[in-house]
Amino acid sequence: MRAGVVVTASPGVEDLAVQAEELGLHSFWVYDTPMVHGDPFIALGLCAKATSRIRLGIGVTSPALRSAPAAASAFASLNALAPGRIICGVGTGNTARRTLGMRPTTAATLESFTAALQDLCAGRTIEYREGDRVRDVRFLHTEGHVNTADPIEFVVAALLGPKAAAVAGRRGTGLISFGLLDPTAWQALHDARRHAAHDTPRDPDSRMDSYVVTALHILDGDEDPHGDAARDATGHLVLSLLAFAADTAAEARAFAEQLGPEEREAVRRLLDRRGTTATAPDRHTKLYPNYLGRIAPEDRDLILPSLMNTLALVGTRDDLRARITTLEQAGIDELLIQPVIDPPTEMAQFAKLLT
């Protein structure tokens, strides 16, 4: 099983990328959530200049954030700084859109956006549409500006169902998911991707790896697996899920209906604690400050053991290695952790665990 890291964009991120490379980690990713974190392309530009081997990913951008030509220019520019090391993660914008108080885009829009990025980043021409106007566009001057010769790896984010996995199959891309540690669910995603890819010609240079973002806490001796230290290390994932369940969009409601009474009560307490409601038009301004950051001590009670066990890896080294082996058997190629307590130490522990 390969190991990687995902972080929020902030000053000094390149120092973490250097350490990740020195530890032998395979990839280093930065979230793309404009109104919450810094700019991922600036962050990865710094990382590209500071490293020489580690793969660099955006996890993930969306057609609701950037046009295809603008996004392609950004990725091809990174590819000029770090040839052949760039991973382009794309999704419907579940988080990035919700933090703006907007809905994610559709799977159809995601597919056309992914196709346009793949073509532009390979130096091909696309049909670019704005309203009723359609024009052929391509990079007009690549040499010395962008790199369309070395391949960029494409990965589609699959959150709740098979639609995004089918996009990945038709486009010949990898998959990435957030907190999905259920081998059965991964089998369903892989089946959906294979089924969609059955009659689709595949680029021989494309990669179709599977990534999962999670959190890690290695228990020390007889440490409580649901104690404060474990909750602090995994709480950012749990709170992100509770915030999603607090939304009133159809997919969020469907997800919330699958939660048990204790989890639904945690959603209610989160809304009450943030001083908002599930229908307030400005709820995004209350739910998402410090999104995916270290949780406050007063929110530890919201980090339910059931959700920790679902979204994160908490256990002894032997327990974790056994669970990771099960995930590898389910077809996951790489685990990505987001360290929030002491990133250098957490990355070192993670690297050691998987060696």
Residue 333 per-residue DSSP state: -
Residue written as tokens 């709170």? 239
Query: Mean pLDDT per 10-residue run, the chain (355 residues)?
Result: 96 97 98 95 98 97 95 98 98 90 92 98 96 96 90 91 92 96 95 87 76 96 95 97 80 72 94 94 93 96 96 96 96 97 96 90
Q: Is 334 helix (H, G, I), strand (E, B) or coil?
A: strand
Query: What is the token pair recorded at 44?
Result: 């990865």
pTM: 0.95
Q: Is 45 helix (H, G, I), strand (E, B) or coil?
A: helix
Residue 311 half-sphere exposure, CB side, CA atoms within 13 Å? Answer: 23
Give the model's pLDDT for residue 230.
Answer: 98
Query: What is the token pair recorded at 116?
Result: 């346009």
Please enumerate in sequence order all residues whose Cβ is within 8 A of that of 253, keeping only pairs 6 or more positions apart, or say none: 247
Residue closest to 91 by CA, chosen among 7, 40, 32, 157: 157
Angstrom distance (rounded) from CA 98 to CA 92: 11
Contact between 31 and 40 (Cβ < 8 Å): yes
Q: Is the dihedral of CA 67, 72, 73, 75 positive or negative?
A: positive
Give the model's pLDDT for residue 221.
Answer: 86
Angstrom distance (rounded) from CA 110 to CA 117: 11
Query: What is the token pair recorded at 68?
Result: 């295809």
Q: Is 299 helix (H, G, I), strand (E, B) or coil?
A: helix
Please give the sequence-ordered ranges of beta strands (E in DSSP) within the chain, or none if there are none. 2-7, 27-30, 55-61, 86-90, 126-130, 133-137, 153-157, 174-178, 210-214, 216-218, 313-315, 334-337
Whether omega before 6 lies within 30 degrees of 0, making that bond cis, reads no
Give the model's pLDDT for residue 160.
Answer: 63
